[in-house]
Each structure stands twice: as C-alpha cells, then as structure tokens.
Amino acid sequence: MIAFLGSGLLGSGFIRAMLAKGEQVKIWNRTKEKAEDLAQYGAIVCDSPAEAVKDTARVHVVLKDDKSVDEVLASSEAGLMKGATIIDHTTTSVEGAKERTDKWQKAGYTYQHAPVFMGPANSLASTGYMLVSGNQGVIASILPELEKMTGKVLNYGDEPGKAAGMKLAGNLFLIAITAGLSDTLALTKSLGIPVSDVASLFEEWNPGAVLSGRLKKITDGNFDKPTWELDMARKDAGLMIEEARENGAPLVVIPAVAAEMDRWIADGHGKSDWTVIGKNNI
C-alpha cells in the first residue's frame, strides 16, 4: 500500500500510473473533489492526511511549497507508520529540504526530497527526470521505486538539499526561456511578423543547440577571443528595444539584460565576448 498526499496535475498523473501498474494507493487532497476523480481508477480516497498514511510504509508528497508540505506532514504524523519513508516531489527551498530531512530522521522516519522535471503527461507516462541528493544508502533503497515513476533519476550526491537547488536552477532557466519568447513575440508582433514565421525560424534554427557551448564559454572564463563582441550584442539589444518601443510593444526582459551589458561595457569589456556578463557567477 502506498500513500499519496496531493493529487493535483502532477500528483494525479503519478497516482494513475501507480494504479495502472497494479499498486494499491491511498490518496488525500485539500480539494477532495480532485481526489475523488481518481476513485474511478481504483484510488482509495481519504478524508485526512493521517488516514491516508495509516499502515503505509511509503508516502509520496506533491504539494505547493515548503509551508504546505510542513503543514500536511504535521497533520499526517499521527497516522504515520513507524519507520515510514516520505518521498517529497514538491519544488521547495534548499533549506526547507535540509530541515525536513533532519527533522524526520530524528523523529524515526526517512524523508527524501525528489523534485522532478516532469509535467502531468510525464508523470502519467513515467517519463521525464527526477532529482535526488542526500544519504546514498536511503537513495539506493528507494531507487527501484523511483525509477518506475520517471524516465531517469539524476543523483547529485551526498548533500541534502542539493536536488532542491538543482530544481530551482532548472526552473529559473525555463522561466527565462519563456520570458525571452514573450519578448520575441512582442517584438515580432509589433513588426507585423506572423507567429507562423517565428515558429518556422525555430524549426530550422535551434538556438538551444548553442547552450552547452555558451555555458562552456562562460565557465572557461576566456572572453578575449569573442565570437560576438559585447558592444555589438548591446547594439542589437538597443535595436530590439527601440523597434518594439516605436511600435507600441515595450519589452520586459531585454531592457534588464541591456542594463547589465551597459555595466560591463562601462568597466571596459565592450570588446570582450558578450558572455562576459556571466563572469561573476562562476
């Protein structure tokens, strides 16, 4: 028997996948209607976290944030089986993951943070990526079960909380990409360029292919042999900002990047490779 606390978009996919594999799953969700939707697949819907975790050796958690995880786990403690393993897939703070690892260990339980790069479709299909770090003995003991839930488990070593940090880093990049796309669409819309043309450009030219090279350029710290000078990149950023402004579509992300470029140019790096703006972060 497995318990699942949280049956939102991600949690419901995990639950349905477990049920399809023949697992018995007890579930709880703040909004009971969302949990009841899963009864048709065989889930046992419970009225409280404590009821859901009763007589279950493994408890999975997919909630909103540190506060909700702490509150729900506190509510479940009365029903927790001694020595139960709590696997938390919630995106949380690094410190929160560390504190819960220590707190629940002292209380006689195992807490393992295992955030994911997975959408609802991934959780249902058991694809995508799951991140772990911390006690390697604990990770080894639950790895077979985690591997059933995802395409790949990425292990970041002995440090509790590191997986939480890696998840935040990945999500930051996803947010940055989407914000950049939003600015791109604002500019092209203001210029009368249809979205279909933007889509066709990225079908032919994949800017994501340069990611590993850009990261290496920054981490190598060699900015004296530019492939794109910072002065020229700043000139282009200015063109983007001005074109959008003249056509009534002010940008959000690029002006902030341009301001950072200006600081580096003022420090004498105009002829350096433009990736120098990341120098202080390595």
pLDDT band at 133 (very low <50, low <70, confident <90, very high): very high
pLDDT band at 23 (very low <50, low <70, confident <90, very high): very high
pLDDT at 35: 95
Taken as a whole, the chain contains a residue count of 282
pLDDT band at 151 (very low <50, low <70, confident <90, very high): very high
Alpha-carbon span 4 to 11, nearest angstrom: 8
pLDDT at 14: 98
Report whether 120 contacts 173 (CB < 8 A): no
pLDDT at 123: 97
pLDDT band at 209 (very low <50, low <70, confident <90, very high): very high
Please name the amino acid found at residue 19: L
pLDDT single digits (tens) 84-131: 999 999 999 999 999 999 999 999 999 999 999 999 999 999 999 999
For the record, the structure tokens of 57 come out as: 């050796």
Q: What angle separates helix 66-76 from helix 94-106, to the nearest 10 degrees?
A: 10
pLDDT single digits (tens) 157-181: 999 999 999 999 999 999 999 999 9
Sorted by where each begins, the domain ranges of the chain are: 2-159, 166-281
Alpha-carbon span 85 to 57, nearest angstrom: 6
Looking at domain 2-159, its CATH superfamily turns out to be NAD(P)-binding Rossmann-like Domain (3.40.50.720)
Report whether 227 contacts 193 (CB < 8 A): no
Local structure of residue 28 (DSSP, 8 states):
E
Q: What angle separates helix 253-266 from helix 162-190, to the nearest 10 degrees?
A: 100
Average pLDDT, integer, range 13-41: 96
What are the φ/ψ torsions at residue 109 (nearest 5 degrees)? Answer: -125, 170
pLDDT at 169: 98
Please return the burial class of 169, using the count of CB atoms within 10 Å of its CB with bins 0-12, 13-18 and 19+: exposed
pLDDT at 274: 97
Q: How much is the pTM?
A: 0.94
pLDDT at 99: 98
pLDDT at 235: 98
Average pLDDT, integer, range 211-229: 94
Report whether 170 contacts 138 (CB < 8 A): no
Please tell me the chain's helix, strand, coil percentages from 3-state DSSP, rounded to the nearest 5. Answer: 60, 15, 30
Domain at 166-281, CATH class: mainly alpha
Map residue 205 onto helix, strand or coil. coil
